[in-house]
Amino acid sequence: MHISLVGINHRTAPVDIREKMAIRAAKLGDSLSSLKRFAPSGVILSTCNRTEIYTANDDSREPAQASLDFLSEYLDISIPQLLRYAYIYKDTEAVEHLFRIASGLDSMIIGEFEVLGQVGNALDAAEIAGMMNLPLRQLFQSAIRAGRRVRKETGISKNALSVSSVAVELAIQVIRDPATCKMVVIGAGEAGRLVAKAARDRGITRIYVAGRTQDRASALVSELGGTSFRIENLEEEMKTADMVVTCADAPHCILRAEQIERTMKERSLPMVIIDIAVPRNAEPAIKQMANVFLHNIDDLTQISEQNRKQREAEILKASEIVAAEVAEFNSWWQSLDTRHVVGALMSKADAIRAAQLDKTLRKLRPLTEEEREDLEAMTKSIVTRILQGPVNYLKSTNGDGKAGASVVSELFELEPKE
C-alpha cells in the first residue's frame, strides 16, 4: 500500500492555472463522489493556494495515475497540461508535505492559522463522503496533531498574518490613510471575516460587506462592525469606495471590466482592488484601466517574503517538530504491513495451542480450576516465547514490512485478512 499525492500550489502554478484547478468548498462533496470512480479512497485539499489529491491504496497501477485521471476528467484539463504544473509525491515525501502544510510551513504566509482548519475540513469531507480509509485517517489526524504542536511549541504563529490581513496591508500601502477610507468587502465567509477584522485592527471604520446572502453579511458586521449591503447594490457602493477586497467563493467573476468602467466614470479618485479569491472574482482586464490598481493573490509575495524572513528561527524549530512527527507516522505506517500477519500468526498458534490443550485435558484426571488455569497460562507462555522470534523479524525488516510479512505468511501458511 502506498500514499500518493498529486497537486499544484502557488509555487508551481500561477493564479490563472490554479483557478482552473480549484475545487470550491460548495462542490467538494460532488468532487469526492467523482474521485470514488477512480480510487476507492482519497482526500481533496483545495485552498486559495493549492489543490491536492491524497490517496492511500494498494493499487497495481502507478499510485498517482488515479488522481491524474480524476483531475483530467473532472476539471477538463489534459494530463500533459496537468503535468506541466503538478508535483507528484509518494509515501514519506507525501507525508512530510502534508505535515508541513498543516504546520503553516508551506503557506504563502508562513504560520497562518487558516490552513490547519482547511486540513481538518478536508478530513471531515472525506469521512462524510465515505472516502476515508485507515491510512488516510491516520495521516490527516497525525498532520493535524503536528500542526497543533508547532503552533503550541513555537512562535511561528505569534502575531501571524493571513492572506486576508496581507491583502489589507497591500491596500493601505496604496491608500495611505486608513482612518478616512471606505472599504468594500465582497464575501462574508471566513476570508471576508478576516479581511474585516484586519481592516478594523488597522483603524478602518467604514467597512461595507456584501455576501452571498444578506443574512451572512449582516451576521459578519454585527460581530465586527460595519455596514452590510446587497450584492445588487455593489456598483453604487463602489462609487465612493477607496478600496475593494474581494474573497467570495464564486464560480464566476463578480467584478467585470464594464462594471468598473461605469463606476470610475462616477468618481475622480483612484480605486484599489485586492482580489484574493481563487477562482478570481475580478476580471484581469480591469488591471489595464486608468486610476484602478488591481492586485491578485500572487501579488502578495513581497509582504509574504518579509514575513518568512522574520520567522526563520521559528521555521527551524517547527521543521524539527515536523520531522519527529513524520518519523512517528512512518513507524506506524511500517507496522501496517505487518500487523495483520502478526494477528494471523498469533491466532493460528493460539488455535493449535487450545486444541492440543483440550485433547490433553481429556486424558488427564479431573483438574481443579486453579490447575486448569495454570496449564492455560503455561501453554500461552510457551506459544508467546516461540513466536517472539518471527514477530521481532517482522518488526525489524528495515522498512520493508511487506516483504517480511510475505516470508512469514509463506513459512507459517497464513492467510492474513484486513
What does the pLDDT look like over 30-66, one tens digit per residue? 999 999 999 999 999 999 899 999 999 765 567 789 9
Which of the 8 DSSP states describes residue 58? -
Q: Which fold is adopted by the domain 2-159?
A: Beta Polymerase; domain 2 (3.30.460)
Q: What's the mean pLDDT when you consider all of the chain?
A: 88
Closest CA to 170 of 202, 193, 211, 209: 202
Assess contact for 161 and 222: CB atoms under 8 A. Answer: no
pTM of the full structure: 0.77
For each of the chain's 418 residues, which pLDDT tens digit applies?
789 999 999 999 999 999 999 998 889 999 999 999 999 999 999 998 999 999 997 655 677 899 999 999 999 999 999 999 999 999 999 999 999 999 999 998 888 888 999 999 999 999 999 999 989 999 999 999 999 999 999 998 887 678 888 888 888 887 767 888 999 999 998 889 999 999 998 899 899 999 888 898 999 999 988 999 999 999 999 999 999 999 998 888 999 999 999 999 988 888 999 999 999 999 999 999 999 999 999 888 777 777 778 788 899 999 999 999 999 998 888 777 676 777 777 788 888 988 998 899 888 888 888 888 888 888 988 888 888 887 777 766 554 556 667 777 777 777 644 4
Alpha-carbon distance of 188 to 217, in angstroms, equals 5
Cell triple for residue 380? Answer: 500461552
Contact assessment for residue 89 and residue 284, using Cβ atoms and an 8 Å cutoff: no
In this structure, the dihedral spanned by the alpha carbons of residues 399, 400, 406 and 412, taken in order and rounded to 10 degrees, is -30
Domain spanning 163-307: CATH superfamily: NAD(P)-binding Rossmann-like Domain (3.40.50.720)
* Numbered ranges of CATH 3.40.50.720 in the chain: 163-307
Catalytic residues: 48
The grid coordinates listed for 322 are 515536523
Work out whether the CA dihedral 208, 213, 219, 224 comes out positive or negative: negative
Upstream peptide bond of 14 is cis (omega within 30 degrees of 0): no
Whole-Å CA distances, 113 to 98, 109, 185, 230, 338? 15, 10, 21, 30, 37
User: What residue spans in the chain does CATH classification 3.30.460.30 cover?
Assistant: 2-159
Contact 279, 300 (CB under 8 A): no
- Please say whether the beta carbons of 112 and 104 come within 8 A: yes
d(C-alpha 67, C-alpha 136), whole Å: 15
Q: Which three cell numbers stand for residue 162?
A: 493571513
